[in-house]
Amino acid sequence: MSRKNNPYEMALKQFDAAVSHMDLDEGTVKYIRSIRRELTVTFPVEMDDGGIEMFTGYRVQHNNVLGPTKGGIRFHPNVTLDETRALAMWMTWKSALLRLPFGGAKGGVAVDPRKLSINELRRLSRRYASEITIIMNPESDIPAPDVGTNPQVMAWIMDTYSWLRGGTAPAVVTGKPVPLGGSQGRLEATGMGVMFSAREAMKYNGIDPKEATVAVQGFGNVGSMSARFMHELGSRVVAVSDVYGGIYNSNGIDIPGLIEHARRTGSVTDFPGSEPITNEDLLAMKCDVLIPAALEGQITEENAPKIQAKIIAEGANGPTTPGADKILHSRGVFVVPDILCNAGGVTVSYFEWVQGWQHFFWRRDEVARKLEETMVESFNAVLDQHEKTGLDMRTAAYTLAIGRVAEAFEMRGIFP
C-alpha cells in the first residue's frame, strides 16, 4: 500500500463524503469524527536465544456512545498508528450499521508473527496484553482476532488479563477457543457474512449464484472462509491469491482441497490443476464477484478502470480508496462496502460476548441463523437507503451508521 493511500485519511474522506449528504449539528460532527483515546506502547520481549527485542503496539478507541469499544488486534509488520485509527473508526460504523451495542476500537503490534517461535509469540502476546490492560476490560474495550492473530492469541490475552485482575474474565476478548468460552461459528463468521452479502447482491443484480464466477484476493481466515462458503453456495471460484502469488482455473478451483493445500504448504501457489496468475491479474479478471480479502488500499484509481467484476464484496477493511470508489460507481460496479460485507465477525463476536456474560452457549446452527438474519436485515436497510437517496452503497451505509451514532451522542449529551 502506497503512502498516498493512508488508511486514516481514507476513513476521514469516507466520513466527510457521507456527512455532506446529512443534516447534522457541526459540534456533533466534530465529536464523532474525532478519536476518543489512543495508546502507544513500546515493550521488550525476551527471544528464544536470550536476547531482547523491542516492539511497538497500539490500542485505539474511536467512539463509545453506543457501548463498549470493540475491535480486533493485528500482528503485522506494517501496523501503524494511522492504520489502527482507521480500523477503529471503521469498527464504529460497522457496529452501528449492524445495530450492535458497541463502539469502535482496534489494536496491533508492528511484528511479523511468522518469524516468531510459538514461545516468542506467546511472550509477545502476553506482554502486549499487559500493556493495554489499563484501557481493556469486558465493560469498556473488548479485543478480538485480526490479521496475524488467532484464537490461541486471544486465549493468552484473556488469561493474562484474568491473572492481572484476579479472576477469570471470558468476556474480555472474543474469538477465543471454544473450550475457553469461545462461540461456535466465530472462526468462519466473517467469511460466512461475506457470502451472505454477496448472495444478496447477486440476487439484487439478477445473477444466479450457481452460475456465478468468483475471484478472491487474500487467503487468510476471511479469504479462505469466503471462498469456501461461495463454493458451497454453488458459485465457481476461478481465482485465488495470497501474499506469495495467485492461481486460476476457469473450470473452478477445488476450494476444500485448496484450503488443505494452503494449510500444508503455507500458500495457495502450486496447487494441482491450476495455473499461476499475479495479484494484478486477479483484480482485473472478468468475473461476477470480486472479493478483496487482503489489506487496505488494494483497489485504487490506477487499477479501478481495469476492474471487470460486476460486484465487489469487500471482505477486507478499506480495500477500496475514495478515488477508486468514484470510478467504480461511474462504471456501474455494485460495491458491497466493508462496514456491511465483513461485519459477520463482529456480529458473532457480539454473540460470544453475550454468551460470555451469561455463561450460556448457543449451538452452531443457532449462531449461523442469527448471523444470517442480522446480515440480510442490514443489507436490505443499506439497499433501501441506496435506492431512496441515489447514493452509492458505501455512502448509503455510512449515512445510516453515522446517523445512529450521532443520534446516540445527542441523546446522551456531554458530561459534565
Instruction: Determine the Cα–Cα distance for residues 270 and 268; give it in Å rounded to an integer.
Output: 7
3 state DSSP class of 58 = strand
Residue type, 402: I
Q: Is 353 helix (H, G, I), strand (E, B) or coil?
A: helix
Strands 289-292 and 311-313: parallel
DSSP 320: B
Distance between CA atoms of 413 and 209, rounded to whole angstroms?
47
Strand partners, 320: 299
What's the Cα-to-Cα distance from 358 to each of 159, 283, 363, 371, rounded to whole Å? 19, 44, 15, 19
Residue 122, C-alpha cell as written in the block: 506467546
In contact, 364 and 184? CB cutoff 8 Å = yes
Q: Which of 106, 176, 203, 326 is catalytic?
A: 106
Contact 319, 298 (CB under 8 A): yes
* CA angle in degrees (0–180, nearest 5) for 14-20-25: 110
Q: Which amino acid, residue 191? A: G
User: For residue 73, how many C-alpha atoms fall within 13 Å in the half-sphere facing its CB?
Assistant: 33
Q: Identify which of 2, 32, 1 has the alpha carbon closest to the alpha carbon of residue 15.
A: 32
Q: Are strands 275-277 and 245-248 parallel, antiparallel or unpaired?
A: antiparallel
**How far is residue 170 from each of residues 127, 156, 166, 364, measured CA to CA in Å?**
19, 11, 13, 19
Among this protein's residues, is 115 annotated catalytic? no
Cβ distance 93 to 173 under 8 Å?
Answer: no
Q: For the packed helices 81-97 and 364-389, what is the interaxial angle rounded to 10 degrees?
A: 90
Q: What is the dihedral of CA 62, 111, 226, 330, to 10 degrees?
A: 60
Residue 416 and residue 407: Cα distance in Å, rounded? 19
Would you name the residues annotated as active-site residues? Answer: 106
